[in-house]
Structure formats: C-alpha cells, structure tokens
Amino acid sequence: MSRIAPLAKPYPPAFAEAMARTMPPGADPLVLFTTLATSERAWTKFAAGSLLDRGPLGLREREIVVDRTTARTGCEYEWGIHVQVFGPRANLTPAQIASTANGHGDDGNWNEAEAALIAAVDALLDRKKLSDVEYADFARYYDEAQQIEIVQLVAFYHGVALICGAFALPLESDTPHFPPATSTAE
C-alpha cells in the first residue's frame, strides 16, 4: 500500500483531461500519477518535466536510458511499466531487457553506440559525471541535443525512483518484476 493515498475519482477536470491524453482508452491512471496529483503543484511540475514526447532521441535509445536508470536505481515500479509498454515498441529483446537490470554495456547485447549509452548512464548514476574518456566515447554517437536529453532522462527517472521508493508505490498490475540476477560460474 502506498504511503500517500492516491487521488480518487472523480478526478479534478485538469487531471482527468491529462489522463485522457496520456493513458490508453479505458485504462486507469498509474498509481505514480494519482499519488503525485494529490498535490496540484507537484503534478504540474512533474508533468511539465516529462520527456516521453518526440525529442532528439529515438524511442529505442530513450527506453534504454529509462530502463537502465530505473533498474540501477532499484525502481522496479517504473522499470516494469517501461519494459512492458515501451520495450516491444523499442525492439528490445528479452536478453536486452534483462541486461538493463543485470548486465552491462559490453555484455554482448548492445551495439557500440548503445554500449556507450549504458556506460554514460552508469557513470552518471555512480559518480554524477562523465570522465573525459567517457564523454568522448559518448559524444562519438550522440550529438549535443541528444546528450542533453540523455542526461535529463537520467535525472528525471532518478527522481521518479526516489518518488516511488519514498512513497512505497505498489507495482501496477501485470507489470514484470526485475529478472533474477544470473551468476557467472568460473
């Protein structure tokens, strides 16, 4: 059970309109959305920060960043939503989805550009910056607009992980859990 009771129906008109544009027809709003919407200010700021529209990154690159960030921050709630809803559209294989949670950029599941993307996400989460070498590798594949979008995605979804963890949001029904970690026998 969430630590903050989610907004209940009937929803305020502005929130109901936003959900009509955001959610598939007939689908209830996500617990994340209804929890944040208990504060109109928090919901407005959160919705304004969303990066799920068409931007400088392709869907596949965006989802690799989101999946890796949410997995590395332990946010099973958001990871599950993204791998279920966007993973197939982004053409992520089951092995790649598992790699976002338990793998690394050079585990054989990614091309060079995607490996650099995962390495950048990991460096940002681990050290909050990129070394000159990491940045040079990252910049070989992504232009400045894409670089900014990638860093913003990591920051935004790190924040989502904090929200989900602080308020103990329950997983949405039918979303996957993190895959079990695989061990490498020597």
**Whether the bond into 179 is cis, omega within 30 of 0:** no
The verdict on residue 129 lying in a domain is yes
Q: 24: domain range?
A: 19-48
- 68, 78 contact by CB (below 8 A): no
Regarding whether 142 and 90 lie in a shared domain, the answer is yes
Regarding whether 159 and 77 lie in a shared domain, the answer is yes
Lowest mean pLDDT: which of 38-47, 136-145, 156-165? 38-47
Provide the terminal-to-terminal Cα distance of the chain, rounded to the nearest Å. 41
pLDDT value, residue 181 = 81
Residue 182 banded pLDDT, cuts 50, 70, 90: low
Regarding whether 109 and 27 lie in a shared domain, the answer is no
Q: What is the rounded average pLDDT of the residues 145-170?
A: 96
Name the domain count of the chain.
Answer: 2
Handedness of CA 23, 29, 34, 40 (dihedral sign): positive
Q: What is the rounded average pLDDT of the residues 57-72?
A: 97
Regarding whether 109 and 28 lie in a shared domain, the answer is no
Alpha carbon of residue 62 to chain centroid: 8
Residue 68 has which token pair?
Answer: 């890796």
Residue 42 has which token pair?
Answer: 């928090």
Residue that the structure tokens 């955001």 belong to: 22
